[in-house]
A and B are shown apart, each in its own frame.
Chain A
Amino acid sequence: MPIDDLFGTTVQLLGKNLDLRARSHNQISANIANAETPGYTPSVLSFEKELRDAVGKRGKTIGTPALTHPGHIRLTGQAAGIDAVRGRVVEMPDATSGLDGNGVELENEMGRMMENQIMYNATLQFIGKKFEGLKAAMKGDR
């Protein structure tokens, strides 16, 4: 069994999720920081759909081209799809911007931040459990 399969997609997917959630937190922090800046439009990092699509496509890697020449570059089909997910920064005004043109609604941003944090912690727990399981299998006791 190749060592890559030991961790499989789970660790790759959860790791990517942590990465994207951390970047999402940066974006939300920026929105909160600019809650009083005239003319500022809040933006969010949108990656959920892209990540879901990348996971969905991973199963169908039948289309992977064969390496028939040493000079060929490995094209892993969509297997590398999860790593390639970067998310998109989309402008998303929370409120119709007032006189100062600021579109930040502090409550929405705080809510978004809490949600993001909970999802981050959940992902962290999943990844922790995965490693715990692997450790238990290695020890083989109890």
Chain B
Amino acid sequence: MSHVRTQIRDAIATRLTGLTTTGARVYRSRVFSLEDAELPSLSVYIKREEIVQVTLGTTPVLTRRMELVIEAHVAANTDLDTTLDTICAEVETAMEPLLTISGVNVPAILRTTEIEFLSDGEELIGLATMTWSIDARTAEDAPQTLVA
């Protein structure tokens, strides 16, 4: 079984697949650059994790607060901000129902959204970076298994 980070990232990418504006163009921890035909798109990463040991004993439990980033990329010369806002609305709506993995609730809270416009190419590129806080718990010796 994969690490809980992978399970959470995959579950969220699956949940975001098929949204009206971005469709199937949802990428997980992708390395290679995006081409024109792959836009507008969503990219999903877990960039950081803060871990606190909350119980002592033979099997300590770790609380993991993950920083999940969903980036929306759009290339267009008009209505970039409106398109990014539309994508953000679709993502926020898709993320609203409580995420449950293997019967364990995994709360996700939107913390920040940053909008940027980049003008280095022949089309303007719009970027919306949505940062979510996700709380999960595992036993110290079983990072693949979520615990309630």
Bound pair (A, B):
no
A: residues with CB less than 8 A from B are none
B: residues with CB less than 8 A from A are none
